[in-house]
Amino acid sequence: MRITDMTAVELAAAIRAGTTTAVEAAETMLARIREQEALYHCYVTVDEKGALAQARDVQAQIEAGELTGPLAGVPVAVKDNLCTKGLLTTCSSKILSNFVPAYSAEAVVNLQKAGAVILGKTNMDEFAMGSTTETSACGVTKNPWNTAHVPGGSSGGSAAAVAAAECVCALGSDTGGSIRQPASYCGVVGMKPTYGTVSRYGLIAYGSSLDQIGPLARDVTDCAAMLEVIASHDEKDSTSVERQDTDFRTALIDDVQGMRIGIPNDYFGDGLDGAVGAAVLKAADTLAQKGAVVERFDLSLVDYAIPAYYTIASAEASSNLERFDGIKYGYRTAEYAGLHNMYKKSRSEGFGEEVKRRIMLGSFVLSSGYYDAYYLKALRVKALIRQAFDEAFSRYDVILGPVAPTTAPLLGESLADPIKMYLGDIYTIAVNLAGLPGISVPCGTDGNGLPIGLQLIGDCFQEKKLLRAAYAYEQARGRFPLASEKEGGAI
């Protein structure tokens, strides 16, 4: 089997067995990046020299018996809003175009401790604000299944890199669906863990109460292996949770007999593409045939999730992005008259349109006279959404539905109508508002050959139930190809 066809677990096993090496794996992926990047633009920064140095060091540790885990020697990519010591970290924004961190994010450190080889930093929507990777100041990423379409966002570069076999797996971040939606569009597996499971230390914040780092991978097994590595309690992150149940690979059991699965009627109304709905319900039937108890129910409050999310997320963004002022680090305008003019010009020139839109919205809802009317009301809705999920999980182990209303839109289609782009997050954002875990698994393709994602949602700290259900479905479905395996590459 070629290196580019292997999953992370398969590749790590091959390296341990001596049939290939960490250096050969890194060289293979770097060659593929050189060959394809002009077409797909998955990366902002590729660290060839650093990756090969890491690979040589990791190979020596594997041969010495010091590294034996499921990611040892595996080439991975990291979303460009995760700090990497000594390596450019831009958030795909002009305002951070020259920022080189002095430390690495805790999730990146955990990957490196496990022997993963960091190839580079992937493209993203600027400061994770967008659903298509088109708001990036570094240029658009294209979907490897069809380059006329977006890869999703904001972790579109990570999802596209996995789909195009330009890495074996990748890290993304999920504030309102930013791992699960691009995973769905690109035909890979993506998981958002329970809030607090993975340290946010070193993640450049968008919405602090919503952001969570998670894996994008080729299959559910790789996803579980990555999550085991990056999940850890971290005293540097006050929201980090100490857990004893992070042996996620133990949940990979092909058995859903008696598992209770709920399908919200609210997720199958107007706006859902027929092919998407049919593929998701077919996946539900597959799980029912394997012994799961599948029922329809009313979740409620779905219509309120989007306004609550964008109110809260924009408010937190306006606060988090206040630090980018042209003084401490990052971009500074060349010509200015006085301090306040320098602030204004640096931020006006450094931030893109979507980021400025959300900063202004956030500043508005936090302003005197509107704070109670908008922000506090959104927080109350957030609590009600959490209660609705609590009630649902008193009856069901897992909630099943679509990831997005449609398959990947055409490039340029979404940015013309920001409200339509926001509505595309309707099935994912409630998971972040409630702090729940969710996973996207490919469940078919539409009439144009574009992937469709199945979303499974679990109660807090119930990732193992999600992984078990996802793994069982994956076993019944059979292997889902990467875009790179399609004849001639992109369709």
Task: Identify each DSSP E strand in 265-407 by its residue range.
Answer: 293-297, 398-402
User: How far is the CA of 254 from the CAs of 80, 444, 470, 472, 476, in angstroms?
Assistant: 35, 20, 9, 4, 9
Q: Which of 93, 178, 240, 346 is catalytic?
A: 178
The count of other CB atoms within 10 Å of the CB of residue 6 is: 21
Q: DSSP state, 376?
A: I
The count of other CB atoms within 10 Å of the CB of residue 249 is: 18
Give the whole-angstrom CA distance, residue 144 versus residue 297.
36
Strand bridging mode 451-458 / 438-445: antiparallel
Task: Please confirm, yes or no, whether 79 is among the known catalytic residues.
Answer: yes
Q: For the packed helices 463-477 and 220-230, what is the interaxial angle rounded to 10 degrees? A: 160
Token pair listed for 319: 């606060």
- b (16+ CB within 10 A) / e for 344-362: ebbbeebbbebbbebbebb
Compute the 3-state secondary structure of the chain and give helix, strand, coil in percent, each to the nearest 5: 45, 15, 45
Q: Is 171 exposed, middle or buried (0-12, 13-18, 19+ CB in 10 A)?
A: buried
Of 403, 397, 407, which Cα lies nearest the Cα of 447? Answer: 407
User: How far is the CA of 48 from the CAs of 52, 120, 249, in angstroms?
Assistant: 6, 8, 31
What is the residue whose two structure tokens read 């958030």? Answer: 91
Q: How is 46-89 classified by DSSP, letter by letter?
A: E-HHHHHHHHHHHHHHHHTTS--STTTT-EEEEETTB-BTTB--
Residue 131 β-bridge partners = none
Q: DSSP state, 261?
A: E
Collect all residues with Cβ–Cβ distance below 8 Å to 487 and sequence separation of at least 6: none
Q: Which of 92, 93, 104, 154 is catalytic?
A: 154
* Catalytic residue ranges: 79, 154, 178
